[in-house]
Structure 1
């Protein structure tokens, strides 16, 4: 499938039309998008974006894992790269805007700057990142972690999807996964800028045009297992039960109450739970649930984890067993003060109202923010809905985000 077969995109078309075009790759019956890493819809989206970049005069390349890059080389300092973009993968039956908006906005903004001002002083590069969501494989930020040297091709052998297909196999079948010989380079990512929908309701409620992010929260995800004793629901007295589900219920109430008491910005979520044997007339002998905690202060996350461990120890006094397995630990990231201040000034110059924000969701900017000066910009989300076919942002709001992105790119690449 080529760009001509799917839709013809012109730089003058509103970004809303670009988003509708990209949503055609993986479109679901109820208007959502399913574009999982290395699926056919993901592959066609990346290949068509490649054709758009070529058509617009970008120097285009893929890396080993399928990250797509389009650049305009700098005339004064070409080894310094101002990188901008986001991801194109989605959750199952997700929205049109998450990730895709940042990729398309970057493509538009960089191209418009090039047409208006000619080649930049520093290299401007747009990236369509291979993956961020972790929807197909139990690994998040595969694309950005690859760029920043935080993962390798060997990691792909151990990771499998729900059908038992390894990340390595899926990558090879999509046409990637082979080392690309590259000469040693002195190129350096001088800055990364990501434009994204908020995926929350703050900007809409406060009627702000844009959000400028100062910090991205740290995340810890756990698998929690409760072990009791299955027994007859009718003949076992309440005082003699080892009910794993009751213990799990007490735990859920405990973490909810403790998080609110510890800090109003701390969030703790149990989103998945399974019960064994899961029968109406049998006391639950085993329960497994997820736990997701987030905050911008890593020491506070440590403190909350120690509070959780107190509950684990208390469970043993009831002759019950609990295991807490932390399988994801992402540190909070404080973004570049200099670039955040620059974004404030640019928003004011453009007449845009803005909100200084802490991002409660993880983004690729979190990975880049640990290695280079990084900016994360938000535009409002209608009703705060995301990861859903109902995800929506008004075209005027999208365009305001593009204007702020252009201003930031101009300051970093041209001045």
Structure 2
């Protein structure tokens, strides 16, 4: 019986690999990557395909007003709050096939396997394909999990637009969601959340560990810095009389890099976008806008460094005769994963003979949003060369299968066995 169960689990693992390839066709782009932006045709088609697949696996499938898609394996004890797993299927532009999608696909098949082998759990298990995490189309992140956690509300939809001027509310309505849609409220109650994800870094690969047990997720500050000077002729304006916004921004960016290096790991600070205007060779840039992404596992250190940079950039602007605006559009605090879940995952790894390491997540995940409300945990699998958000994103089949095995075991123990911790 044990051998048959192990064989069946391996069969589900193989199905998971095939399903990841299948899902990557939705939004496949010419560069060999995957582009599925929130509420676009490609994203809608992928969610609907997953909805059909969930039903075929015997799960109850339903949407909420934001567009989160849930597959439910109903428990026999209605007094127990559900345990949730899942991730997201939205991508960056020309992203990889594993980021987010792995956690959704693995969650669906874990529930299908558990139902086939063990029937109904005592505690309901939900797998959710969250409707947005990346923030690639609109300048906001965690829209899906944020609505579940109550950080966002259908009564106060953020007034943000995409690159084509389409508002979030317009896109959501066009996709069939929103406060006037027939779907259920986003708010829900749950007991615990666990997310399976690729590492998106190279720590596991370089340390030759099979699994990462995440102990915390870094906090993030994302800022839009606008530097204003004066556009003028590049040939007739003396150097000493210029109000060159690009030159000022360059000095600011150099300071950001130097100060981050001085502070040291695990702080990271990144300027990922730089847009001088008018952006032509013979005109001094009158305005320059750049983005700033700051991350740290300790909230106080994150706040202190952010304040320090803010003050220094204003000082540079004043010295150069420039104006500066500082617009913070993301403020997410670090979130520690729950100690009991961490201990469970370590023990499962040890019992299965799977090597693991405790590690923080330098990338943001839905687990930090849901983990700010209820206990949460995360499982990482290695990423080849640490590459992610890229068509070259890759995780070996064996590593994907090991992550699936750990997730399935944890769900079994918690939803079927409670604190008795019997193995599959």
Q: Which residue of 1 aligns with 2:399?
A: 397
Residue among 357, 360, 379 paired with 1:358: 360
- Measure, in 2, the Cα distance between the counterparts of 1:60 and 1:236: 65
SS of residue in 1 equivalent to 2:85 = strand
Counterpart for residue 116 of structure 2: 115
1:218-258 C-alpha deviation (Å, 9 max, x unpaired): 11111112223334434444334332222211111111111
Deviates more, 1:239-248 or 1:342-351: 239-248
Q: What number of residue pairs does the alignment pair up? A: 404
Q: Report the equivalent of 1:3.
A: none
When normalised by structure 1's length, the TM-score is 0.92
**Match in the other structure for 2:159:** 158
What is the 5 A alignment of 1:233-382? 233-311=234-312, 312-382=314-384
Moved more, 144-153 or 98-107: 144-153
Residues of 2 paired with 1:268 and 1:103: CA distance? 30
The answer (yes or no) to whether the contact 1:136–1:162 under 8 Å persists in 2 is yes
TM-score under structure 2 length normalisation: 0.90
Structure 1 window deviating more from structure 2 (96-105 vs 237-246): it is 237-246
Q: How far off its partner does 1:126 sit?
A: 1.0
* CA offset digits 1:198-233 (Å, max 9, x no partner): 111111111110111111111111111222333443
Q: Distance in 2 between matches of 1:216 and 1:264?
A: 14
In the alignment, what sits opposite 1:203? 204
Task: State the Cα RMSD in Å.
Answer: 2.0
Distance 1:164 1:281, change over 3 A: closer
Counting only pairs closer than 5 Å after superposition, residues 140-159 of structure 1 correspond to structure 2 as 140-156=141-157, 158-159=159-160
Q: Answer yes or no: is the 8 Å Cα contact 2:248–2:320 preserved in 1.
A: no
- CA–CA distance in 1 between the matches of 2:325 and 2:181? 40
**What do residues 336-393 of structure 1 show as CA deviations (whole Å, max 9, x unaligned)?**
1111111111111111111211111111101111001101111111111111111111
Aligned residues of 2:40 and 2:175 also touching (Cα < 8 A): yes
Task: Specify the SS of the correspondent of 2:394.
Answer: coil
Secondary structure of the residue aligned to 1:153 is coil
CA distance in 1 between counterparts of 2:25 and 2:233 reads 53
Match of 2:133 in 1: 132
Q: Secondary structure of 2:82's match?
A: strand
Is the deviation greater in 34-43 or in 157-166?
Answer: 157-166
Provide the C-alpha distance between the structure 2 equivalents of 1:165 and 1:231, rounded to a whole number of angstroms.
33
Structure 2 equivalent of residue 4 of structure 1: none
Taking the aligned partners of 1:316 and 1:174, their CA distance within structure 2 comes to 46
Q: CA deviation at 1:157?
A: 6.5
Distance apart, 1:179 and its partner CA: 5.0
Match of 2:23 in 1: 22
Deviation at 1:135, TM superposition (A): 1.3
Displacement of 1:182? 6.2
Distance 2:103 2:319 in 1: 51
Aligned partners of 2:13 and 2:404 also within 8 Å:
no
Post-superposition shift, 1:128? 1.0
Q: What does the per-residue CA deviation read over 1:31-64, in whole Å, with 9 as the maximum and x for residues that have no partner? A: 2111111112211211111111111111221111
